[in-house]
């Protein structure tokens, strides 16, 4: 077998699985550029793990079996999770669907580097080994990070704000699955087959639930945003609880800052409505192009954000119903 055939067998399955996830996403929540960037991030994680592992074996007299069963899962899942946490903190993951895609992309990139390392160090020509590494180990890396992203997003989106403990359940599950896989308690062929059956079923269930949640959120959120925007445009916002809240801020901020807050709220709602409309068009199979006016609105939003300052932004945050889904929708069209 040539090196090219070996590496192809060991990494193609994970990319087939990743492609299937992207295809199943009817709303096309994750752009191809973002997927490629995430795969590259996974490759970087793989390189970092390689150097850390090399250093560890120079410093400690650990057996390879002990390291692969207990230390390696902690190290690798921690570093893979870092990029997912970065995406969550930057509000680039809004639903479990895109969490699953990003997570699998990180794992795919990691698997590429790890299998290239194995190819160089083992020089093994046994076809069965590379099939197991492709359909077993590589898919496992994608699956564990995907599960971490899914569980973390599921826990955090039920809370008004993110906390460190939201990341713990997904991380523990990912490490446990990884460690169990490395125990080799069963025939590798059986483990691989079970994994190839269980992961698609799990992902299919997640996709179904997440897309239903997305439809529900679009319908409810759009109605609310339109109603509030109508009150602002028609000058009736003072009759609402939002108007009363803005009036209460006049004692804490200058009048011009409160006026900028109202302008910020209006533009925020306009962009949120456009983002939801874009998602609905995507779900119906239509393309959406961001026009010049939308880009100008984002520029104005950023200007107002600087004008009202961090304290002012914090003061009006309750009016923005700014959970991660609502902030994510703005990122969705801002990145176009």
Tokens of 277: 């409309």
Give 303's contacts (C-beta < 8 A, 6+ positions apart): none
pLDDT, tens only, 322-334: 545 555 566 665 5
Q: Report the Cα–Cα distance between both ends of the chain, in Å, rounded.
A: 44
pLDDT, tens only, 243-299: 777 777 776 788 888 888 888 888 888 887 777 777 777 666 676 666 777 778 888
pLDDT, tens only, 17-63: 888 888 877 667 688 888 999 999 999 999 999 999 999 998 988 88
**What are the residue ranges spanned by the domains of the chain?**
3-212, 235-334
Count Cβ atoms below 10 Å from residue 4 Cβ, excluding itself.
9
Q: How many residues does the chain have?
A: 336
Instruction: State the DSSP H helix or E strand holding residue 94, giving kind and residue range, or none if neither.
Output: none
Is the Cβ–Cβ distance between 192 and 135 less than 8 Å? yes
pLDDT, tens only, 123-142: 656 777 777 777 788 888 99
Of 95-99, 204-208, 212-216, 323-327, the one with minimum mean pLDDT is 323-327
Closest CA to 261 of 321, 326, 330, 315: 315
Is the Cβ–Cβ distance between 101 and 18 less than 8 Å? yes
For the packed helices 72-89 and 168-183, what is the interaxial angle rounded to 10 degrees? 150
Tokens of 30: 């994750």
**C-alpha neighbours within 13 Å on the C-beta side of residue 78:** 9
178, 224, 299 from 29: Cα distances, Å: 28, 22, 23
Instruction: State the DSSP H helix or E strand holding residue 288, giving kind and residue range, or none if neither.
Output: none
- pLDDT at 101 exceeding the cut of 70: yes
Closest CA to 181 of 129, 145, 144, 126: 144
Long-range CB contact pairs, 239-244, < 8 A, 24+: 242/319
Give 35's contacts (C-beta < 8 A, 6+ positions apart): 18, 22, 101, 102, 105
Q: What are phi and psi for residue 284, nearest 5 degrees? A: -90, 0
pLDDT, tens only, 110-124: 999 998 888 787 765
Provide the H-helix boundaries in the chain. 3-24, 32-59, 64-66, 72-89, 96-122, 127-132, 139-156, 168-183, 188-233, 241-248, 255-283, 292-316, 324-334
């Amino acid at each position: 077998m040539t090196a090219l055939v070996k590496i192809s067998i060991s990494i193609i399955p994970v990319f087939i699985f990743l492609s299937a996830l992207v295809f199943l996403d009817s709303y096309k929540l994750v752009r191809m550029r973002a997927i490629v960037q995430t795969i590259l991030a996974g490759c970087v994680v793989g390189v970092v793990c390689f150097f850390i592992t090399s250093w560890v074996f120079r410093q400690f007299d650990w057996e390879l079996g002990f390291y692969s069963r207990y230390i390696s899962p902690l190290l690798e899942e921690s570093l893979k999770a870092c990029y997912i946490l970065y995406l969550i903190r930057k509000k680039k993951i809004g639903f479990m669907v895109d969490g699953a895609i990003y997570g699998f992309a990180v794992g795919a990139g990691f698997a590429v580097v790890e299998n290239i390392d194995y190819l160089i160090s083992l020089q093994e020509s046994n076809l069965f080994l590379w099939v197991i590494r492709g359909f077993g180990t590589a898919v496992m890396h994608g699956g564990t990070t995907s599960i971490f992203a899914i569980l973390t997003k599921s826990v955090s989106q039920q809370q008004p704000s993110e906390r460190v403990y939201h990341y713990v359940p997904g991380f523990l599950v990912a490490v446990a699955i990884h460690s169990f896989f490395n125990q080799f308690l069963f025939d590798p062929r059986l483990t691989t087959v079970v994994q190839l059956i269980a992961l698609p079923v799990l992902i299919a269930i997640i996709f179904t639930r997440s897309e239903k949640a997305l439809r529900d959120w679009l319908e409810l959120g759009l109605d609310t945003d339109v109603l509030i925007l109508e009150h602002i445009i028609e000058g009736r916002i003072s009759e609402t609880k939002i108007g009363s809240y803005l009036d209460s801020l006049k004692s804490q901020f200058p009048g011009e800052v409160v006026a900028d807050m109202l302008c910020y709220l209006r533009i925020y709602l306009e962009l949120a409505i456009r983002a939801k409309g874009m998602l609905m068009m995507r779900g119906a199979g239509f393309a959406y192009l961001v026009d010049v006016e939308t880009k100008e609105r984002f520029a104005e939003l950023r200007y107002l954000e600087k004008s009202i300052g961090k304290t002012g932004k914090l003061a009006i945050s309750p009016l923005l119903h700014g959970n991660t889904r609502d902030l994510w929708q703005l990122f969705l069209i801002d990145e176009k």
